[in-house]
Amino acid sequence: SNSEWIDKIAPPNPLENHSHKKPLIGIIMGSDSDLPIMLPATKILNQFKIPYELTITSAHRTPEKMIKYSKSASNRGLRVIIAGAGGAAHLPGMVASETVLPVIGVPVKASVLDGVDSLYSIVQMPRGIPCATVGINNSTNAALLAIKILGTAIPKYQIALEEYSKKLEEEVLQKCEKLEV
């Protein structure tokens, strides 16, 4: 169930802001049913020790909360927003229209249309209001892209990203070695 997923996310009580550290990245999603898909983003941010906040807000069900969140995001110190949504996935685009921060949309596979509906809803923004879009269900890449954006201003995150890439490379090369013997 969703509550089990909530319990699995570290640090504890993720639906509240981290009070001890000012969050740099905001992760939002349209419904708690998106949590399992957004979980890998939290794993990456924890791995890179980047303070983030996590909340649920819906473009359709809680439009006022969404607007308040978007309008206050920059002043509250956030640098990037990651927004996951499925179906008629208007959340990332609507948030992008109400904030100066970069918004990265994660299309969630949530309906009988297999996530293609979400992908198209998020990627096909009108000229003037950009919203970065990653692959369907790929919140890992959303987090890594957010860290790359942070890295342009905070060099330690670029160093951490280089280490991450190096590790990925070594993993692949090790697998090749095993195959080739």
Instruction: Output Rg (C-alpha) for the chain, integer angstroms.
Output: 17
How near is the Cβ of 34 to ligand RP5 at its closest, in Å?
5
Residues at the contact surface with ligand RP5, assessed by CB under 6 A: 29-31, 33-34, 58, 85-87, 108, 110
How near is the Cβ of 32 to ligand RP5 at its closest, in Å?
7
Q: Closer CB to ligand RP5, residue 96 or residue 108?
A: 108
- The answer to whether the CB of 88 falls within 8 A of the CB of 60 is yes
Cβ atoms within 10 Å of 52's Cβ, excluding its own = 25
How near is the Cβ of 7 to ligand RP5 at its closest, in Å?
18
Q: Closer CB to ligand RP5, residue 140 or residue 158?
A: 140
Cβ atoms within 10 Å of 17's Cβ, excluding its own = 17
Q: Closer CB to ligand RP5, residue 57 or residue 99?
A: 57
How near is the Cβ of 155 to ligand RP5 at its closest, in Å?
35
Q: What are phi and psi of 76, to 5 degrees?
A: -80, -5
Tell me, what DSSP letter sits at residue 96?
H
Instruction: Enumerate residues 6+ apart whose C-beta is below 8 A from 159.
Output: none
Q: Closer CB to ligand RP5, residue 29 or residue 44?
A: 29
- The answer to whether the CB of 74 falls within 8 A of the CB of 22 is no
